[in-house]
């Protein structure tokens, strides 16, 4: 009997210590949450000055090249596909997992479209800012190039035209590759 009472008291004490409902644990631990924009579905980024110069190179002026890439639609699809392939690529997926792929698909598409000369403006950040502290290596860079090549092959872009886009991107590696 004594044992039962003691046990009941102990159990009550235990029950009383249950955590209160409705605690905002994120606030308790100082976690900042970013809300996706209800319209675009993108996460906000730190403010920066928008300019086509952020695209990192000057555009081509060749209607044929634009045609080879399937016009603006084709280019945007290739950029999105490159991001998809990279998210699924075990070599570099971890780098992409922590970032906003909705935004990247849009801004990468803009960058390609701008560089190929298909008449877009680039609204994203410059390459150094966009890849800061990502720890990208030259091997990661090669993996991304292979994914881009795969996306361009799927879209039947002729190889010489593929290389012309790569020619614009390759010199930017200095701003992207950190080690």
Partner 1 sequence: MTLTHAFLAFTQTAAITAALPPGEPPRIAYAPVLEAFDPAPAPVVATPTITARATAPLGTINALGEDEGVSTGTGRPIRADKLLLTNGISTVEGSSGGGIARWATIAGRQMPGGIGVSAHGSAVELPDFGWRSYGAAIGFGDRLELSFARADFDTRDAGAALGIGQGYTFNMNTFGAKVRVAGDLIYGATWLPQIAVGVEHKQSGDGGLVRALGAADDAGTDITVSATKLFLARSVLANATLRYTEANQIGLLGFGSAAGAGYKLQFEGSLGYQLSRRAVVGAEYRSKPDNLGLGEDDWLDLFAAYALTDSLTLTAAYADLGSIATFSDQRGGFLSAQVAF
**Which tokens in the block code for residue 66?**
């634009």
- For residues 71 and 112, give the distance between their C-alpha atoms in angstroms, rounded to a whole number: 11
- For residues 136 and 145, give the distance between their C-alpha atoms in angstroms, rounded to a whole number: 13
Cα angle 176, 172, 97 (rounded to 5 degrees) comes to 35
Largest CA distance in the chain: 93
- For residues 147 and 135, give the distance between their C-alpha atoms in angstroms, rounded to a whole number: 19
Stretch near partner 1 under the rule CB under 8 A, chosen from 23-31, 46-54, 76-84, 102-110: 23-31
Three-class secondary structure of residue 163 per DSSP: helix
Closest contact distance (angstroms) between CB of 80 and ligand HEM is 13
Residues 109-138 that bind partner 1 (CB under 8 A): 133-138
- 39 near partner 1, rule: CB under 8 A: no
Q: Which of 141, 146, 150, 155 binds ligand HEM (CB under 6 A)?
A: 141
**Which tokens in the block code for residue 130?**
């966009």
Q: Which of 91, 123, 125, 128 binds partner 1 (CB under 8 A)?
A: 91
Taking CB within 5 to 8 Å according to partner kind, which of ligand HEM, partner 1, none is near residue 85? none
Closest contact distance (angstroms) between CB of 81 and ligand HEM is 15
- For residues 86 and 93, give the distance between their C-alpha atoms in angstroms, rounded to a whole number: 6
- For residues 97 and 123, give the distance between their C-alpha atoms in angstroms, rounded to a whole number: 22
Closest CA relative to residue 167, chosen from 86, 77, 62, 81: 62
Residues 103-122 that bind ligand HEM (CB under 6 A): 103-104, 107-108, 111
Residues 158-177 that bind partner 1 (CB under 8 A): 159-160, 163-164, 166-167, 170-171, 173-174, 177
C-alpha count within 13 angstroms, C-beta hemisphere, residue 31? 7
Closest contact distance (angstroms) between CB of 121 and ligand HEM is 13
- 128 near ligand HEM, rule: CB under 6 A: no
Closest contact distance (angstroms) between CB of 158 and ligand HEM is 21
Binding site for ligand HEM (CB under 6 A): 92, 95-96, 99-100, 103-104, 107-108, 111, 124-125, 127, 130-131, 136, 140-141, 144, 169, 172-173, 176
């Amino acid at each position: 009997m004594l044992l039962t009472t003691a046990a009941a008291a102990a159990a009550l004490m235990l029950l009383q210590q249950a955590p209160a409902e409705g605690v905002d644990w994120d606030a308790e631990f100082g976690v900042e949450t970013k809300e996706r924009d209800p319209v675009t579905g993108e996460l906000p980024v730190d403010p920066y000055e928008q300019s086509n110069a952020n695209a990192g190179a000057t555009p081509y002026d060749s209607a044929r090249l634009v045609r080879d890439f399937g016009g603006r639609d084709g280019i945007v699809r290739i950029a999105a596909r490159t991001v998809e392939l990279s998210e699924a690529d075990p070599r570099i997926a971890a780098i992409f997992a922590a970032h906003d792929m909705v935004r990247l698909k849009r801004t990468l598409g803009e960058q390609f479209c701008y560089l190929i000369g298909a008449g877009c403006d680039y609204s994203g950040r410059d390459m150094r800012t966009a890849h800061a502290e990502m720890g990208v290596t030259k091997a990661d860079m090669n993996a991304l190039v292979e994914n881009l090549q795969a996306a361009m092959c799927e879209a039947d872009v002729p190889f010489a035209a593929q290389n012309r886009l790569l020619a614009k991107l390759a010199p930017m590696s200095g701003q992207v590759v950190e080690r």
